[in-house]
Structure 1
Amino acid sequence: MEQQRPVPGAQIPLEGAVNFRELGGYPAADGRRVRYGLLYRGGNLDTLQSPADRALVQSWKLNTILDLRSNGECAKHPDPSLPGVQYRRICAMRMRDGSEMDFSADGIERLAAEKAAFEREAGHPVHDFYWFSILYRQMPFGNPAYHALFELLEQGRVPLLFHCSCGKDRTGIAAMLILLALGVSRETALADYMLTNTYRQAQIEASLQGKTEAERELLLSVEGVSESMGAGALDAIVERFGSYERYFQAEYGLTPSRLQALRDRYLE
């Protein structure tokens, strides 16, 4: 009897972490679906310490791990070494000078300085929400981590796990880009992005306790994700290129034939 496949976007049950999932099962425009067991997304891997968690991760038979975090984050929460798995780390968020945007404790001072420079140019204080909204609109362009991601996809280096610290922002944008490249609709890709708020609900509610509705909207993205931020990144692609297909060709060299080959590899 064939094993029942999980609902697309379902959380993978782990003892040490939330918001780990795979991209399998999502429907594409050509009537096919994303293949299961190839594309996994998540957060810090050092939380997966129990024998059950380690066994489950090993069952994925990973070929490659792409770590989207900064060096500072990795130093504090290093990925475990998994036998036979190739590991790459390329930070998916960058300062204006191209250096890593470090969300570790040691990187907060540099982040504050970066924001202060932005505010000086704007001529007025800016809430973190609005600053990050602008950063999100820049993430799909010239991002070395996402270029590496699509190289790995074209090379067939799967099963692949791509992750950041919480599996919500850098990982969430990466997942949307993969789904769009495979012909999954914008609405479905954005819905997958927003599932973080379901799987991290406990963390979100703890951080927002006692906040007003206005404060909750602005602070949601600290532990969860903001729909306007995620949608803004996708809107920026269409505004600049007119279509996702033109973006994938200009940004990653995915000509129509190469994009079709990618879809044939990852759809069933």
Structure 2
Amino acid sequence: MPDAATGATGLAQDLRLACAPNFRDLAAQVHDLPMRHGMVYRSDMVFAPSEDEAECLHALGVRVVFDLRSAAEGAASPNAFWRERGVEVLDFDIGSDVRAKGSVWDVLKDDASAAAIHALLSRIYRSIPSASAPALRSLFERIAAGDAPVMIHCSAGKDRTGFVSAMLLSALGASRETIEADYLASGGRTTPEQLAHAHAVLSEVAGGPLEDSASALLTGVHLDFLDNAFGWIERKFGTTQAFLEHAAGLDEERRRQVRSRLLET
């Protein structure tokens, strides 16, 4: 059986899954707010779970899955597990908008240095807020309507999912410290096998062994990238709350509804 810590509600609060190592309860890192466990999960792609893992995931009662991957990613690895169990899956194709700013693969072919990759990822993170706005709007609407538990995921569950999770925590009033702790937690949930496979794939695309520093940028999580997203928001909207209101439809009434669903009173 997967390693599961079970709370008084009987729902698993911290599953350690071989099929999705970055799957976790968003409330796990929240210590400055009374966030309810078992309401919002964030994850990498759930692919081919074992029978025991499938049983644990099904028991969580997820109602809506927010798939932030591109159409190409979805076609290559369909969300079969959730759909086969009757769970509603909403596709937002954030990947297409993000990659419109520059392809990781193209950069690796032309220049696989850490400096080039850092510059590209910084640009990508500045594009994520506007690309994520439709997903955020729908996420807030569905939570306010009582459709939790929900799950948010992309391929690795660290960049697009990390940003959307950061915005949800911001909407709840979490501190920047809490938001950063949740974001960085993805760095401790990648298996050595995943890292080795990613390094091999990236080196093949680059046409030669990738520098460790370059590989770490692509496979890890780094606060300066998240800072780029927040910086873009502050330049365009002034504050994160203004971005959430004007770009994602989170007015005061919707915020109150979301908080009432996700926070203990």
The TM-score bracket by the shorter chain reads: 0.7 to 0.9
Aligned to 1:105: none
1:173 matched to 2:176:
no
Aligned to 2:147: 157
Cα gap change, 1:112 to 1:187, in 2 (>3 Å): same
Aligned to 2:121: 132
Looking at structure 1, the residues matched to 158 and 14 of structure 2 have their Cα atoms a distance apart, in angstroms, of 13
- Report if the CA contact (8 A) 1:65-1:85 is conserved: yes
Looking at structure 2, the residues matched to 167 and 254 of structure 1 have their Cα atoms a distance apart, in angstroms, of 24
Looking at structure 2, the residues matched to 26 and 224 of structure 1 have their Cα atoms a distance apart, in angstroms, of 18
Cα RMSD, aligned residues only = 3.3
Cα gap change, 1:101 to 1:135, in 2 (>3 Å): closer
The alignment partner of 2:138 has SS state of: helix
Looking at structure 1, the residues matched to 213 and 91 of structure 2 have their Cα atoms a distance apart, in angstroms, of 32
Aligned to 2:254: 258
- Report if the CA contact (8 A) 2:65-2:87 is conserved: yes
Looking at structure 1, the residues matched to 227 and 167 of structure 2 have their Cα atoms a distance apart, in angstroms, of 12
> Displacement of 1:188 after TM fit?
0.9
> Displacement of 1:51 after TM fit?
0.8
- Report if the CA contact (8 A) 1:41-1:161 is conserved: yes
Looking at structure 2, the residues matched to 28 and 151 of structure 1 have their Cα atoms a distance apart, in angstroms, of 25
Number of equivalenced pairs: 239
Cα gap change, 1:14 to 1:151, in 2 (>3 Å): same
- Report if the CA contact (8 A) 1:11-1:199 is conserved: no
Cα gap change, 1:253 to 1:198, in 2 (>3 Å): same
Aligned letter for 1:12? L
TM-score between the two structures when normalised by the length of structure 1: 0.77
**Structure holding more helix per residue:** 2
> Displacement of 1:216 after TM fit?
4.0
Tell me the alpha carbon deviations over residues 208-248 of structure 1, each in whole angstroms, 9 at most, x when there is no partner. 79x9xxx5444323222222111221232223322222221
> Displacement of 1:41 after TM fit?
0.9
Aligned to 1:91: 93
Tell me the alpha carbon deviations over residues 32-91 of structure 1, each in whole angstroms, 9 at most, x when there is no partner. 42111110111122232x111100110111111111111221222111224231111111
Question: Residues 176-215 of structure 1: matches in 2 within 5 Å?
Answer: 176-200=166-190, 202=192, 203-204=194-195, 215=211
